Chain A
Amino acid sequence: MPTLDDERFEAYLKQFRPLLPEPLPAVALSRGARRTFALGAWAAAAVAALVLVALTLHIRTNRARVTEIVGNVGNPEHFQESQPLTMRSANALMAKAPSFKAMVDDMAFRSQTVPLPKGKHSVVAVLGKEKIKL
């Protein structure tokens, strides 16, 4: 091979291109990770919002239920869902009943309106049928 002059030799050397360096970690961070971070932040915010809404609903529902129960505790209708005992109904019962005791028994057990499941008996009703001498 003939010897090249300086200019041609320099041109020959320049044909060899230096290899590309590896990408900068911060450049990769500035593009890929910035996007990933934004997506992650949005997803986390959405999940947090959903959890917050679910918790709020749960707490409100529980509070309403507790309020309802507390309100019902002092309400006699909660226990006696049939007609309330009035003077009129007491007089009517006394007129129909064969005796005073029978009328009192009727008044005492008339709140038994909830039907019991088959094969089960109310303890009060059973005791009421027994003949106990006081």
Chain B
Amino acid sequence: MHRTDGNTAEIELLYRQHGPALLLFAQAVTGERGRAQDAVHQVFLKLLEKGSLSQVVDKKAYLFACVRNAALNDSKLRDRNAPLDPDSAWFSPPDRDYAGEQNLRRALEALPSDQRQVMVLHIWGELTFSQISDLLDLSSNTVASRYRYALAKLRDSMFAKENSCANS
């Protein structure tokens, strides 16, 4: 084992900084919180065991790529259309807006997996379209168009539900 305290501290810091977004992204890929948590842990445990990130230029994008690979390595997820777990919360809602959290989660669930991943990476992962295009091996234009579609669908889905609730 070649890790040093400095490397461990850096990896712990990265886990604290990006852990929530990485977990959300893994949930968007796997559909299950437990498997998502396993994928994130697997990535960080490997990092702790094996080495440092000193040679990685874009650490955040690298972590998202690792988590995506770990999540997709599960053979059950190769079809990439795994149903999302409807019961587990994904977000800590503002002002205890749990209905809003459920609404958002269902709207995300209704998105196609590729659009959902782009949405999560851009909004909560705070990755640029360029970073996402590298990560998903897509052109920036494709990423941007998927994001626009996803955003529009998400907004329509969320506010259509809220308006229908308000009208009823």
| B-binding residues in A (CB < 8 A) | 1, 3-4, 6, 9-10, 13-22, 24-27, 30
| 30 sampled A-B residue pairs with Cβ under 8 A | A1-B163, A1-B166, A3-B155, A4-B155, A6-B151, A13-B124, A14-B123, A16-B94, A16-B100, A16-B101, A17-B92, A18-B23, A19-B20, A19-B89, A19-B91, A19-B92, A20-B19, A20-B20, A20-B23, A21-B19, A21-B37, A21-B40, A24-B41, A24-B45, A25-B45, A26-B44, A26-B48, A26-B49, A27-B15, A30-B12
What is the bound-complex CA distance between A16 and B24, given in angstroms? 11
What is the bound-complex CA distance between A6 and B19, given in angstroms? 26
Whole-angstrom distance from the CB of A72 to the nearest CB of chain B?
62
Q: Contacts A20-B20, A21-B20; is A27 near B41 (CB within 8 Å)?
A: no
Whole-angstrom distance from the CB of B49 to the nearest CB of chain A?
8
What is the bound-complex CA distance between A9 and B22, given in angstroms? 22
Q: Contacts A1-B159, A14-B124; is A26 near B45 (CB within 8 Å)?
A: yes
Whole-angstrom distance from the CB of B10 to the nearest CB of chain A?
12
- Using Cβ atoms and an 8 Å threshold, which residues of chain A touch B151? 6, 9-10
- Using Cβ atoms and an 8 Å threshold, which residues of chain B touch A20? 19-20, 23
What is the bound-complex CA distance between A25 and B163, given in angstroms? 44
Whole-angstrom distance from the CB of A31 to the nearest CB of chain B?
9
Mark contacts of B82-118 with chain A using CB atoms, 8 A cut-off: 1 yes-contact digit, 0 otherwise.
0000000111111000001100100000000000000
Nearest-neighbor residue (CB-CB) of A20 within chain B: B20
Nearest-neighbor residue (CB-CB) of A13 within chain B: B123
What is the bound-complex CA distance between A24 and B41, given in angstroms? 6
From B8, B101, B162, B163, A30 is in contact (CB under 8 Å) with: B8
- Using Cβ atoms and an 8 Å threshold, which residues of chain B touch A26? 44-45, 48-49
Nearest-neighbor residue (CB-CB) of A9 within chain B: B155
Nearest-neighbor residue (CB-CB) of B48 within chain A: A26
What is the bound-complex CA distance between A1 and B8, given in angstroms? 48
Mark contacts of B14-42 with chain A using CB atoms, 8 A cut-off: 1 yes-contact digit, 0 otherwise.
01000111111000000000000100110
Q: Is the CB of A24 within 8 A of B91?
A: no
What is the bound-complex CA distance between A23 and B24, given in angstroms? 15
Q: Is the CB of A16 within 8 A of B45?
A: no
What is the bound-complex CA distance between A14 and B21, given in angstroms? 11
- Using Cβ atoms and an 8 Å threshold, which residues of chain B touch A19? 20, 23-24, 89-92
Q: Is the CB of A10 within 8 A of B15?
A: no
Q: Is the CB of A24 within 8 A of B94?
A: no
- Using Cβ atoms and an 8 Å threshold, which residues of chain A touch B19? 20-21
Nearest-neighbor residue (CB-CB) of B8 within chain A: A30
